[in-house]
Amino acid sequence: MENKNADLTSLKIDRPLNSASSRNPRNSSLIAWVLGITALFFLFYFSWSYIFSSTIEVSVVTASKVSSSQSNAILTASGYIVAQRKAAVASKGTGRLKFLGVVEGDAVKKNQVIAKLDDSDINAQLEQAKANLKFSEADLKDAENTFNRTKKLFNSGSAAQSELDAAEARLNRTSASIAIAKAQVLGAEVAMENMLIRAPFDGTVLTKNADVGEIVAPFAASASSKAAVVTMADMSSLQVEADVSESNIERIKPNQDCEISLEAYPDLRYPGYVAKIVPTADRAKATVMVKIGFKNYDKKVLPEMRAKVLFLNEPVSAEMLNKKPKLVIPASALIQQENQYFVYKIINDKASQVKVSIGEKVGTYIEILSGITDGEKVIDNPSKEIKDGTKIQIRN
């Protein structure tokens, strides 16, 4: 009963201080580690966002030269210059090449001997055939005399019919041997002619395909023999062969005026015309071949050169051809600030503002007189966010 009056306030549970920390001493370091990783993540995220949010994606255009007739063109096509008259000149005979009288670039005339094959064996056959012919001709004279004498004796009754028949048979055999000898001579002469390689037409040698000492055969029967000795072309038959899309072929008419420029000489232009629209299409490319002839050209125009053709809706004039091409860019790439004009070039992935001076307007293009050069790329339709030094990424 005495326990009922006991003082319970003095009772308490003895707990050690910082019990959580004592139970898991690594918690503080783990929290610090998590906080550090989180801070680095946010730092990396904001840095990445800053870098790429300041990069602007743009389109670029190329400054290029165009002729004054560009605005008069209804269609543009590219192609190659091709000689319409071209031949790989080979021999009709087989033998070792002993003479080659031309090199690349030489002009030759029709039937000119440009090469010879070794003909010593054929020449011997020709001499033998000629000797056989002379022998037969001499035998023929004797056979004719014998036949005439026998015929007179037969008419006078001094010779029998059998003698006359024998004399006539000998005469016929001799005449036949002469015909054979003449054919042999002709065959040897033809074989000798086949040892000569002649130019089939007036033209220019483009390539040399064989050298002296090599075996030449009509069909190059072996790997060590050559078929064609040279390749030549008629330089007066040069035309541009260009592929035109089927959807645009209706814009082209026979004898339509054209302007031709060469990739090798961009400042030179030549008057041309539509010589032929080939009446078939290429199903793989969906194009039709158009052949463009030159009205006049010079020695700079060579086979296999790449050419650009402008199909015009008006006749081409000498004044248009004599004007120098203009360096232009699309008007959308130009920036005007007060009375000055600028464009943005891309240097080290950054926009670089360049001052330019302009000339005439050519359709949707503007002539550039100074500031940039042919082939340089500038930003098209630059936005207001683009400044000098802005980071740029070219749009694919």
Q: How does pLDDT run across 228-246, given as a tens digit for each residue?
A: 899 999 999 999 999 999 9
Q: Which residues, other chains included, contact 294 with Cβ-Cβ below 8 Å and sequence gap of 6+?
A: 238, 239, 240, 260, 270, 271, 272, 301
Identity (one letter) of the amino acid at 175?
A: S
Q: Which of 204, 201, 199 is nearest to 107 (CA)?
A: 204
Q: Is the distance from CB of 138 to CB of 174 less than 8 angstroms?
A: no
Q: From the CB of residue 92, how many other CB atoms can be counted at a distance below 10 Å?
A: 13
Q: Say yes or no to pLDDT of 2 above 50.
A: no
Task: Specify the fold of 119-194.
Answer: Helix Hairpins (1.10.287)
Q: Is the distance from CB of 230 to CB of 209 less than 8 angstroms?
A: yes
Of 173 and 67, more confident: 173
pLDDT of residue 197: 93
- Per the CATH hierarchy, to which homologous superfamily does domain 69-85+236-322 belong? Efflux pump adaptor protein, beta barrel domain (2.40.30.170)
pLDDT of residue 25: 52
Q: Say yes or no to pLDDT of 191 above 80.
A: yes
* Gyration radius of the chain's alpha carbons: 47
Average pLDDT, the chain: 84
Q: Say yes or no to pLDDT of 5 above 60.
A: no
Sorted by where each begins, the domain ranges of the chain are: 57-67+325-394, 69-85+236-322, 86-118+195-233, 119-194
Domain 86-118+195-233: which CATH number of 2.40.50.100, 3.40.50.720, 1.20.58.740, 2.60.210.10? 2.40.50.100
Q: Which residues, other chains included, contact 368 with Cβ-Cβ below 8 Å and sequence gap of 6+?
A: 63, 327, 328, 329, 356, 357, 358, 359
Q: From the CB of residue 381, how many other CB atoms can be counted at a distance below 10 Å?
A: 11
Q: Say yes or no to pLDDT of 4 above 50.
A: no
Q: Is the distance from CB of 197 to CB of 101 less than 8 angstroms?
A: no
From the number of C-beta atoms within 10 Å of its C-beta (0-12, 13-18, 19+), residue 372 rates as middle
Instruction: Compute CA 377 distance to the chain's CA centroid, rounded to the nearest angstrom.
Output: 26
Give the Å distances, CA to CA, from 272 to 302, 308, 313: 15, 11, 13
Q: Which residues, other chains included, contact 216 with Cβ-Cβ below 8 Å and sequence gap of 6+?
A: 90, 91, 94, 95, 96, 97, 117, 210, 225, 226, 227, 229
Q: Say yes or no to pLDDT of 183 above 90.
A: yes
Q: Name the percent of the chain lying above pLDDT 70.
A: 87
Give the Å distances, CA to CA, from 125 to 18, 178, 184, 188, 298: 127, 16, 9, 6, 49
Mean pLDDT lowest for which of 100-104, 250-254, 264-268?
264-268
Q: Which of 310, 330, 305, 326 is nearest to 382 (CA)?
A: 330
Q: Is the Cα torsion angle 114, 119, 123, 129 positive or negative in sign? A: negative
pLDDT of residue 220: 58
Q: Say yes or no to pLDDT of 20 above 60.
A: no
Q: Which residues, other chains included, contact 54 with Cβ-Cβ below 8 Å and sequence gap of 6+?
A: 390, 391
Q: Domain spanning 57-67+325-394 has what CATH number? A: 2.40.420.20
